[in-house]
Amino acid sequence: MNDISGRMKEVEEQIALIAERCGRLSSEIELIAVSKSQSAEAVREAFDAGQLIFGENRAQELVAKLPLLPSSIHWHFIGHLQKNKVRKVLPLVDLVHGVDSLELALDIDRIASELGLFPRVLLEVNVSGEATKFGFTPEVARREAPRLLELTRVQWEGLMTIAPIVDAPDNARPFFAQLRMLRDQIAAENQVDLPTLSMGMSDDFEAAIKEGATLVRLGTVIFGPRGRA
């Protein structure tokens, strides 16, 4: 197994340094170790190194890993959540990142009521407008915000995005800035607090932190290429 614990330490030091350079506290930024396609053994090594939050994007893989790992792990669902997987996923995770349509939000709210849950969620916004990405457009997110805030079970905490692939990490900054400004706009228009911005992955997390990310989703820089520990 590769030195996951060593890479964890390097990443944590990087985050602290980036935060300091842009006048932020490292405690404002939570690291999600993206464990999709990684073995339970790799997840355990990261956990043993002090990592508590892990992100999965497939319900079947999450269900398979859960019994093999410590119950004190906090799981986030970071992928596209299919409607037929909502009932299976909600009881297992602390936060759903990819609520990408009003219909999905309504389904989550209804099923949460049936299960007696109050799920924490983020809205996924497709700020780049790429056809290959899921998510609300910024305009639709603003328009639907009042209705989303009326849901009685869903706890809407903020926004999430995936930036397009760019030549240099700093070229992703405008997309992250757009998400931050959209969050501020929705919060002001609806007089609510939306503290969470989930943005930034292994290739662009420095740019995301500079633009206000509170959650960064890192896989490759911790585990190496997918499917390898």
Q: Spell out the domains of the chain, with CATH numbers in brackets.
A: 4-223 (3.20.20.10)
Cβ neighbors of 166 (< 8 A, separation 6 or more) are 172, 204
Look at residues 90, 106, 104, 185 and name the one whose alpha carbon lies nearest to residue 147: 106
> In this predicted structure, what is the pLDDT of residue 225?
74
Across the range 211-216, mean pLDDT stands at 98
**Amino acid at position 80, single letter:** H
Contacts of 35 (CB under 8 A, 6+ apart): 42, 43, 46, 54, 55, 56, 65, 219, 223
Residue type, 18: I
Residue 115 backbone phi and psi in degrees, to 5: -95, -5
Examine the pLDDT at 67 and tell me if it is beyond 60. Answer: yes
* Mean pLDDT (whole number) for 100-105: 97
CA distances (Å), origin 91, targets 7, 74, 83, 143, 165: 31, 12, 15, 29, 33
Mean pLDDT computed over 14-35: 97
Mean pLDDT for 118-141 is: 95
H/E segment holding residue 184? helix 173-190
Q: Which amino acid is at 174?
A: P
At a CB cut-off of 8 Å and minimum separation 6, what does 201 contact?
Answer: 34, 162, 216, 217, 218, 219
**pLDDT value for 177:** 98
pLDDT (mean) for 171-190: 98
Contact between 157 and 120 under an 8 Å Cβ cutoff? The reply is yes
Residue 134 · residue 102 · CB < 8 Å: no
Are 7 and 50 in contact by the 8 Å Cβ rule? The answer is no
Give phi and psi for 122, each to the nearest 5.
-120, 145
Distance between CA 53 and CA 30 in Å, rounded? 8
Say if residue 116's pLDDT is above 90: yes
| Residue 54, pLDDT above cutoff 50 | yes
Q: Which pTM does this prediction carry?
A: 0.94
- The whole-angstrom separation of Cα 8 and Cα 74 is 17
State how far the Cα of 224 lies from the Cα of 229, in Å rounded to an integer. Answer: 7
The pLDDT of residue 2 is 59
Give the separation between CA 64 and CA 92, rounded to whole angstroms. Answer: 12
Q: What is the mean pLDDT of the chain?
A: 95
- Mean pLDDT confidence for 172-189: 98
Nearest Cα to Cα of residue 219 among 32, 74, 26: 32
* Bridge partner list, 123: 99, 159
